[in-house]
Amino acid sequence: MVADVQGSFATSAVPGTRFTDVRWITETGSTNADLLAAAAEGAPEGVVLVADHQSAGRGRLDRTWVAPAGSSLLVSVLLRPQLAPADLFLLTAAAGVASVEAVAEVAGLRCGLKWPNDLVSLAPGPADRKLSGVLAES
């Protein structure tokens, strides 16, 4: 399945959006760290980095995010919002709500947000099955 997704994303853009530069890489330490470095070098808003595997992923409070190769869709997006760093939580909340809506529309899966940044499945079964996390950094 990863190869099918990779073929559709590799070095492309999402027409009609600000996401004008979508890059697919096989492996990285952290997609967020890569985009933070690109941002520091002047990369424009709209760069999207998709990876099959990351060896040094992290979440909120510098927690480690481990995902075996091919098990996850690992994505970071470079945005340059006009927000003070103290207000970045607004972006995290908006991204979380958008993720819930996208998963429902694309996959038909009921999910919700577990404060402050986890997307969890609401399908029958164990409670709070984490699907993803949203991490905003500056």
Grouped pLDDT means (10 residues each) for the chain, 138 residues = 44 75 90 94 93 86 79 87 86 90 90 86 77 82
Question: Which pLDDT value is given to residue 32?
Answer: 92
Give the domain extent around 113: 83-138
**2 lies in the same domain as 28:** yes
Distance from C-alpha of 78 to C-alpha of 29, rounded to nearest angstrom: 17
Strand pairing report for 57-58 and 21-28: unpaired
Question: Which pLDDT value is given to residue 61?
Answer: 81
Helix boundaries (H) for the chain? 2-9, 31-40, 88-107
Question: Which pLDDT value is given to residue 78?
Answer: 94
Residue 64 in tokens? 């480690």
**4 lies in the same domain as 56:** yes
Question: Which pLDDT value is given to residue 41?
Answer: 96
- Does residue 82 sit in helix, strand or coil? coil
Element (H, E) at 51: strand 47-54
**38 lies in the same domain as 56:** yes
Question: Which pLDDT value is given to residue 18?
Answer: 84
Question: Which pLDDT value is given to residue 2?
Answer: 39
Question: Which pLDDT value is given to residue 4?
Answer: 43
Distance from C-alpha of 133 to C-alpha of 119, rounded to nearest angstrom: 6
**136 lies in the same domain as 110:** yes
**99 lies in the same domain as 68:** no
**116 lies in the same domain as 60:** no
Last residue of a domain, one of 44, 63, 80: 80
The CATH number that applies at residue 1 is 3.30.930.10
Question: Which pLDDT value is given to residue 34?
Answer: 95
What's the domain count of the chain?
2
**39 lies in the same domain as 73:** yes
**74 lies in the same domain as 12:** yes
Question: Which pLDDT value is given to residue 128?
Answer: 63
**57 lies in the same domain as 118:** no
The one-letter code for the residue type at 111 is C
